[in-house]
Structures are given as structure tokens and as C-alpha cells.
Amino acid sequence: MTIQVQGKKIPWKEGMTVSDLLDELDDPYPYAVVRIDGKIVCRPDFDTTQVPDGSQIFLISMVAGG
């Protein structure tokens, strides 16, 4: 049971939410949205959105500049 995050396989845990995943990755970068199997999940939903086994996940940050 694994998921792919940015193309890297990592272990999946039953009941894992997006917030759980980000905590496990221990990545301090603030992601604005996460894409799970093509579906966009916004930050307000990170605590309630579960990550299915076998998912492909992309972490998307917002960049400002001029």
C-alpha cells in the first residue's frame, strides 16, 4: 500500500488525510493546494480530505513576484 507524492512512492496509512501526509513529509513549504488523482484540494479542506491508497499526489505552492 503506497501513494506517489511528486513521483516518489511513500507508505500509505488507512485514514490518512492531506494534513497527515504533509506532517509526515516534514516539509516546511506552505502548499496552497494539493492535487490527488487530478482533483484539486484547497488548504481549508486538508484536515478532512482523505488520501486514497494508490493515489498520485502533486503538491502545488503559490509563487508571487513581479
Instruction: Spell out the long-range contacts of 46-49 with Cβ–Cβ below 8 A and sequence spacing 24 or more.
Output: 46/17, 46/18, 46/19, 46/22, 47/17, 47/18, 47/19, 48/17, 49/17, 49/18
Instruction: Please report how many Cα atoms fall inside a 13 Å half-sphere around the Cα of residue 49, on the Cβ side.
Output: 20
For the 2-60 domain, the top CATH level (class) is alpha beta
pLDDT (tens digit, 9 = 90+) per residue, 24-60? 888 777 888 999 999 999 999 999 999 999 999 999 9
The pLDDT of residue 44: 94
| Residue 17, phi then psi, degrees to nearest 5 | -100, 170
Please determine, for residue 63, whether its predicted confidence score (pLDDT) is greater than 90.
no
Domain boundaries along the sequence of the chain: 2-60
